[in-house]
Amino acid sequence: MTAAARAFVQSSWQELRYRADALSGALLWALVVSFLVGSAVSSPDHFAVGLVVGSVYALAALGLTLVYGVLRFANFAHGDLMMLGGYLAYFALTGAVVGTRRDVHLPRALDSLPGASERLGDLTFGYGLLVAAVLSALALGLLCIGLDRLVYRPLRRRRAGVVILAVASLGLAIGLRSLMLMVWGPNPRLYVEGVFPAHRFPFGVLLKSDQVFTFAVAVALAGLVYLLLFRTRLGKAMRALADNPDLARVSGIDTERVTVATWALAGALMAVAGVLLALQAQLNPQLGFVVLLPVFAAAILGGIGNPVGALLGAMVVATAQETSVGWEIFGRQLDPTYKPGVAFVILIAILLLRPRGLLGAKT
C-alpha cells in the first residue's frame, strides 16, 4: 500500500471513529431524554419517587465520582461507608447499640436534649436528627481521611494498580459491614418509629414530607458541591488533579492536601446520603452494598469523574428503577425485586455501548 493510500485509510478510519462516537453520544442523549420525558408523562407517581431516590443516589454518586476522578480508583467501600454514615447519625441521636438481650443505651444522646424529637412541621423527625446528620458528616469525613492514610495511601505510594486498590476497598467494605452488624445487629432500625401519611400532589403523585425534604436537601447540597468545584480555588485544584496529577504538581498544587479535602468532602456527602437513604428506607447493614450498584451505574452513565454527569445519571437510574415496577414484560408486570436488576442492565449497556457515558472525557 502506498503512503497516500495508507494515510487515506487512516484518516477515514479516524473520521469513522469520530462519527461513531458522536453518534453513540447523540443516541444515548436521545434515549435518556425520551426516557425521562416518557416516564414522567406515563407514570408521574413512580417518576416522582424516582427523583427522590435519585437525589440520594446523586449525593452518593458525587462522592464516588470525586474519589474516582482525583484518586483514580473505584471505591467499593462507598456503599458501606454511606450506610455507616446513617448508623453514626443514629448512634448520635439515640446512643443505642445492640446488647445481648436488648439494646444498650448511652446515658445521654442527642434525643435526650429538650425538644430534640419534637417533629419539625410535618417532617417525622426533630432537630436532633439534623444535628446528628451534621455530626455524622464530620465524623465520616475524618474517618475517610483516616482510612486513606491507613489503607489507600500506602498502596498508592507503592504504586499499586487500580485492581489492587479496588480489591482493598472491597475488603474494607466487608470489614465495615461486619462492624455495623456487630455494633447495631442485623435487624433494621429506624430514626423514628411510626406510620406517617403521604401528601397528595397533582398528577396523582403521593409523597411524604420526608421525601420532599430529602429531595430539597440533596439538590441544595449538589448545588453547593457544584459551586465548590467550579467557583473555588480548592475545587478547581480537585478538577485539575483529576485531569492530570503530574501537571497539577508542577503547577504547585499540594496534591496531598487536595486529596485530604476530597476525602473529607466525599465522606460528608456519603454520610448525608446515608442518613437520607435511611430516612427513605431503613438502617440495615446490607443496604449499603445493595445501593452500591445503582450508584456505580449512575456515575458511569453520567461519565465517571464528571460531577454533573453523576447527578444526571443518578436521576436516570433511579427513575428507571422506580418506573420499572409498572413495566410489562411478556405480558407480566415486572416485580419490584428486580429494581437492582434494572440498574445492572443500564450499567452493562453503557459499558458495552459507550463507556465514557453522557459527559465523560474521551480517553
The binding site for other proteins (CB under 8 A) comprises 233, 236-237, 239-240, 242-244, 246-255, 361
**CB 156, min distance to other proteins, A:** 14
CB-wise, 246 or 328, nearer to other proteins? 246
**CB 103, min distance to other proteins, A:** 49
CB 106 within 8 Å of CB 226: no
CB-wise, 209 or 255, nearer to other proteins? 255
**CB 214, min distance to other proteins, A:** 30
Instruction: Specify whether the backbone of 123 is left (phi greater than 0), alpha (psi in -120 to 50) or beta.
Output: beta
310-313 contacts, C-beta under 8 A, 24 or more apart: 310/58, 310/61, 310/62, 310/64, 310/65, 311/58, 311/61, 311/62, 311/222, 312/32, 312/358, 312/359, 313/61, 313/357, 313/358
**CB 239, min distance to other proteins, A:** 6
CB-wise, 187 or 251, nearer to other proteins? 251
- Coil, helix or strand at residue 332: strand
How far apart are the C-alpha atoms of 216 and 193, rounded to whole Å? 23
**CB 251, min distance to other proteins, A:** 5
CB-wise, 178 or 244, nearer to other proteins? 244
How far apart are the C-alpha atoms of 52 and 154, rounded to whole Å? 38
CB-wise, 238 or 266, nearer to other proteins? 238
φ and ψ of 201, to 5 deg = -120, 170
Q: Which helix (H) or strand (E) holds 167?
A: helix 162-184
206: which strand partners?
200
**CB 305, min distance to other proteins, A:** 8
CB-wise, 42 or 251, nearer to other proteins? 251
CB-wise, 206 or 247, nearer to other proteins? 247
How far apart are the C-alpha atoms of 325 and 271, rounded to whole Å? 28
Strands (DSSP E) contained in the chain are: 96-97, 104-105, 199-201, 205-207, 328-329, 332-333
Report the chain's C-alpha Rg in angstroms.
Answer: 22
